[in-house]
């Protein structure tokens, strides 16, 4: 999980590109004054600077970077120094075309854009090693350089001959024999049998994409190859004596990589957060963003760093919507509430040209500090200064929701039961949101994570079972845990081969039923769940369901709800099974949010999950951080567009930051403090 990282303060700053302003020394000096005015204490440097650092092969010019870092440090601004590998210089692509990526159609890209490089290429790896070594040698002992920002927003894949050979080696190492490979990928389908490992190719629109085991393993290979490249970058820094902690900046809802596999590669997690505020109700956006924060925090189970956010409007989303007054602070403090020890922006000064010239910035083209956005940023800086003692605290959780990227890959490639959409992410969000509406901290973990320490665990649509997961579930329930499983779970193994003998595989005794069939519903079609009289959860309301309805045959499970129509009218729509000291609940259809809100509230109560605020109004978030000495910081945030009355436990947790008169204003934050 990397080394323990604590920079001693909440960081406020962001991505800074002084190389674009070398012809304007007066602007660089002005920036320092503006940074201090906005309470900026950190900047990220060097992310796309390779052409400035090595303008010709073997010719290195790092002095300008040292001068910038020295001046920043003199002004009490520290640096997260990037390796420049997200965009290679033009000379490299011209001399070594192998560094450029090949797409799935086997076409090599021209030079251009960013992230257009092959992680397998020995040339690119060697050039990366050299430039990283040069940076480490110069800045390993610089007091102003606090961490290494490895490349930028890793993603994408390469299908070049080098990557094909590496993939074949990966496959051969995993399966050992052709017999095992052919069995795992079910290559008897459509006569796809392999006679040699040399025949293995990555998925392609011109070739194979129907072998789901191949598709899954290719995605795993891309993650492993990317992680190996990150390790390569970090090794170059370490070999040169640089010991500052390292990170990569991850992205929202990104499924090109399995981020959980980077937990042991980097020292701390960081991510780039660009919600579309004001597109939907802010309460909806806040809940979605909160889950992404919790995913990032849960990867290493420790504070993360908000590496990028926009102080005003982006320029790459479909509409460049300005943040309304107060929204920047609400969004920034939400990140801190969920475990971030920073609020960082892209970008510090707005670029004059190219594709990000209209992306929001702390300092815009006008170049003054008397703008609305600059004032909003300054308010965030002032708020963070008052919250400094929160730095380093944890977000302990007694509830967890399973979100597994490899499972998502398989679900979304399954070819059934509903190609019009099975809505995996939305299914995960339902129990997450239900728990969060109670003011409960929630970890968002994958199947490889331990279930120890949780009182209640929700597992939505666990279609693909990772090795050992069912045993963890069995032990969790047997020892008293409260477990919630949904439809379309326990269907396939890790190579997407369907289990024989009944599903949910290896959990039929824990759940107390066997799945018989699953019905895909057309858009607009619906069924409903009707509570059984005297059901164990004391449910009284009926709830609608859509998209997917699973038909199950109980063995030991009690029926909580039944379907209200169609040929399966009266069959179980929700069940409960007592197993050992715990209970296993099953939601058999894609029910509306209201069912999850009621059921998860009852499960949290049954599990004995602590709730600091007894009644949380709709649209209000309650999130708790806790220091090692037991001090708790309870963030109460109102994402409604109007003030809301809320009863807070101020006797035990007095108001520490913000004002409270029985209500909390629109987009306002109150922080309580106590033990």
Average pLDDT, integer, range 649-662: 97
Q: What does DSSP say about strands 644-645 and 558-563: parallel, antiparallel, or unpaired?
A: unpaired
pLDDT bin (cut points 50, 70, 90) of residue 27 is very high
CB 626 within 8 A of CB 339: no
Residues of the chain above pLDDT 70, percent = 100
Measure the CA–CA gap between 215 and 280, rounded to whole angstroms.
Answer: 34
Instruction: Find out whether 129 is annotated in a ligand binding site.
Output: no
> Over 80: is that where the pLDDT of 1 sits?
no
Write down the pLDDT at residue 402. Answer: 99
Write down the pLDDT at residue 4. Answer: 86
Measure the CA–CA gap between 130 and 138, rounded to whole angstroms.
Answer: 13
> Over 80: is that where the pLDDT of 106 sits?
yes
pLDDT in tens, 133-177: 999 999 999 999 999 999 999 999 999 999 999 999 999 999 999
Q: What does DSSP say about strands 572-579 and 582-587: parallel, antiparallel, or unpaired?
A: antiparallel
Instruction: Find out whether 160 is annotated in a ligand binding site.
Output: yes
pLDDT bin (cut points 50, 70, 90) of residue 68 is very high
pLDDT in tens, 587-637: 999 999 999 999 999 999 999 999 999 999 999 999 999 999 999 999 999
CB 381 within 8 A of CB 38: yes
Residues 6+ apart with CB under 8 A from 224: 170, 261
- Cβ neighbour number for residue 448 with a 10 Å cutoff: 16
> Which residues face 582 on adjacent strands?
579
Instruction: Find out whether 545 is annotated in a ligand binding site.
Output: no
> Over 70: is that where the pLDDT of 2 sits?
no
Token duo for residue 220: 């795993």
Instruction: Find out whether 498 is annotated in a ligand binding site.
Output: no
**Sign of torsion over alpha carbons 291, 295, 296, 297:** positive
Rounded to whole angstroms, what are the CA distances from 543 to 68, 463, 557, 588? 61, 24, 21, 12
Residues 6+ apart with CB under 8 A from 227: 261, 262, 265
Write down the pLDDT at residue 502. Answer: 98
Write down the pLDDT at residue 637. Answer: 99
Instruction: Find out whether 163 is annotated in a ligand binding site.
Output: yes
Domains and CATH numbers, the chain: 41-172+212-268 (3.20.20.80), 399-607 (3.40.50.880), 620-674 (2.60.40.1180)
- Active site includes 201? no
Write down the pLDDT at residue 3. Answer: 78
pLDDT in tens, 217-254: 999 999 999 999 999 999 999 999 999 999 999 999 99
pLDDT in tens, 125-142: 999 999 999 999 999 999
pLDDT in tens, 285-296: 999 999 999 999
Rounded to whole angstroms, what are the CA distances from 308 to 164, 343, 346, 622, 633? 34, 8, 5, 24, 24
| DSSP tag of 497 | P
CA angle at residue 77 from 49 to 44, to 5 degrees?
A: 30
Write down the pLDDT at residue 615. Answer: 97
pLDDT in tens, 193-218: 999 999 999 999 999 999 999 999 99
> Over 90: is that where the pLDDT of 300 sits?
yes
- Cβ neighbour number for residue 280 with a 10 Å cutoff: 12
CA angle at residue 572 from 569 to 574, to 5 degrees?
A: 130
CB 349 within 8 A of CB 340: no
Measure the CA–CA gap between 38 and 637, rounded to whole angstroms.
Answer: 23
CB 484 within 8 A of CB 458: yes
Q: What is the average pLDDT score of the chain?
A: 98
Question: What's the CA dihedral at 500, 504, 506, 510 to 10 degrees?
Answer: -150
Average pLDDT, integer, range 564-569: 98
Quote the crossing angle between the two packed helices 212-239 and 405-412, to the nearest 10°.
150
pLDDT bin (cut points 50, 70, 90) of residue 275 is very high
Which run of H or E residues covers position 483? strand 482-486
- Exactly one of 308, 406, 494, 550 is catalytic; name it: 308
Average pLDDT, integer, range 527-554: 98
- Active site includes 356? no
Residues 6+ apart with CB under 8 A from 586: 484, 485, 486, 487, 511, 513, 552, 557, 574, 575, 576, 577
pLDDT in tens, 492-522: 999 999 999 999 999 999 999 999 999 999 9
Residues of the chain above pLDDT 90, percent = 99
Cis status, amide bond into 31, omega within 30 of 0: no
Q: What does DSSP say about strands 558-563 and 527-531: parallel, antiparallel, or unpaired?
A: antiparallel
Token duo for residue 486: 């949904």
């Amino acid at each position: 999980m990397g080394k323990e990282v604590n920079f001693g303060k909440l960081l406020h700053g962001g991505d800074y590109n002084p190389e674009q302003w070398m012809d304007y020394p007066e602007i660089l000096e002005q920036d320092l004054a503006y940074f201090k005015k906005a309470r900026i204490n950190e900047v990220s440097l060097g992310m796309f600077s390779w052409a400035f650092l090595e303008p010709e092969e073997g010719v290195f010019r790092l002095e300008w970077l040292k001068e910038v870092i020295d001046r920043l440090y003199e002004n009490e601004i520290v640096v997260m120094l990037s390796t420049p590998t997200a965009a290679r210089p033009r000379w490299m692509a011209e001399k070594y075309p192998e560094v450029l990526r090949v797409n799935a159609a086997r076409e090599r890209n021209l030079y251009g854009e960013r992230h257009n490089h092959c992680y397998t290429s020995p040339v690119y790896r060697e050039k990366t090693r050299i430039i990283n070594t040069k940076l480490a040698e110069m800045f390993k002992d610089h007091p102003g350089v606090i961490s290494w920002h490895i490349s930028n927003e890793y993603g994408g894949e390469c299908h070049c001959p080098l990557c094909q050979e590496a993939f074949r080696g990966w496959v051969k190492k995993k399966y050992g024999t052709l017999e095992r490979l052919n069995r795992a990928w079910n290559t008897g389908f459509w006569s796809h049998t392999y006679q040699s490992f040399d025949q293995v190719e990555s998925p392609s629109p011109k070739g194979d994409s129907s072998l789901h085991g191949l598709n899954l393993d290719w995605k795993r290979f891309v993650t492993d190859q990317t992680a190996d490249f990150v390790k390569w970058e970090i090794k170059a820094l370490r070999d040169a004596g640089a010991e500052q902690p390292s990170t990569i900046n991850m992205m929202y809802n990104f499924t090109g990589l399995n981020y959980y596999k980077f937990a042991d590669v980097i020292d701390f997690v960081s991510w780039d957060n660009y919600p579309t505020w004001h597109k939907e109700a802010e309460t909806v956006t806040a809940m979605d963003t909160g889950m992404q924060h919790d995913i990032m925090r849960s990867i290493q189970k420790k504070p993360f760093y908000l590496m990028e956010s926009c102080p005003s409007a982006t320029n790459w989303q479909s509409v460049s919507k300005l943040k309304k007054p107060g929204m920047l602070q609400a969004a920034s403090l939400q990140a801190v509430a969920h475990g971030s020890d920073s609020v960082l922006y892209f970008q510090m000064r707005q670029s004059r040209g190219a594709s990000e010239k209209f992306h929001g910035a702390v300092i815009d083209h006008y170049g003054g500090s008397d703008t609305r956005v600059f004032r909003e940023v300054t308010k965030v800086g002032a708020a963070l200064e008052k919250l400094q003692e929160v730095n380093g605290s944890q977000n302990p959780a007694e509830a967890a929701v399973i979100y597994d990227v490899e499972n998502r890959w398989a679900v979304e490639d399954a070819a059934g039961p509903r190609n019009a959409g099975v809505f995996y992410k939305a299914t995960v969000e339902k129990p997450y949101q239900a728990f969060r509406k109670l003011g409960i901290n929630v970890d968002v973990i994958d199947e490889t994570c331990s279930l120890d320490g949780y009182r209640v665990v929700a597992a939505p649509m666990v279609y693909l079972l990772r090795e050992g997961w069912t045993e963890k579930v069995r032990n969790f329930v047997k020892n008293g845990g409260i477990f919630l499983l949904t439809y379309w779970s326990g269907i396939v193994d890790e190579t997407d081969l369907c289990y024989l003998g009944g599903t949910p595989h290896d959990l039929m005794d824990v759940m107390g039923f066997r799945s018989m069939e699953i019905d895909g519903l057309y858009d607009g079609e619906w069924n409903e769940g009707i509570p059984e009289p005297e059901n164990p959860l004391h449910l009284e309301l009926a709830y609608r369901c859509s998209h997917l309805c699973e038909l199950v045959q109980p063995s030991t499970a009690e029926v909580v709800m039944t379907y209200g129509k169609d040929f399966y009218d009266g069959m179980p729509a929700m069940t409960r099974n007592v197993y050992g000291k715990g209970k296993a609940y099953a939601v058999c259809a894609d029910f509306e949010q209201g069912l999850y809100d009621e059921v998860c509230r009852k499960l949290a109560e049954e599990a004995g999950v602590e709730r600091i605020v007894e009644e949380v109004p709709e649209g209000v978030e309650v999130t708790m951080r806790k220091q090692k000495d037991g001090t708790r910081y309870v963030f109460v945030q109102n994402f409604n567009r109007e003030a809301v009355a809320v009863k807070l436990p101020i006797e035990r947790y007095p108001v520490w930051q913000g004002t409270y008169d029985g209500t909390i204003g629109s987009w306002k934050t109150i922080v309580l403090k106590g033990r």
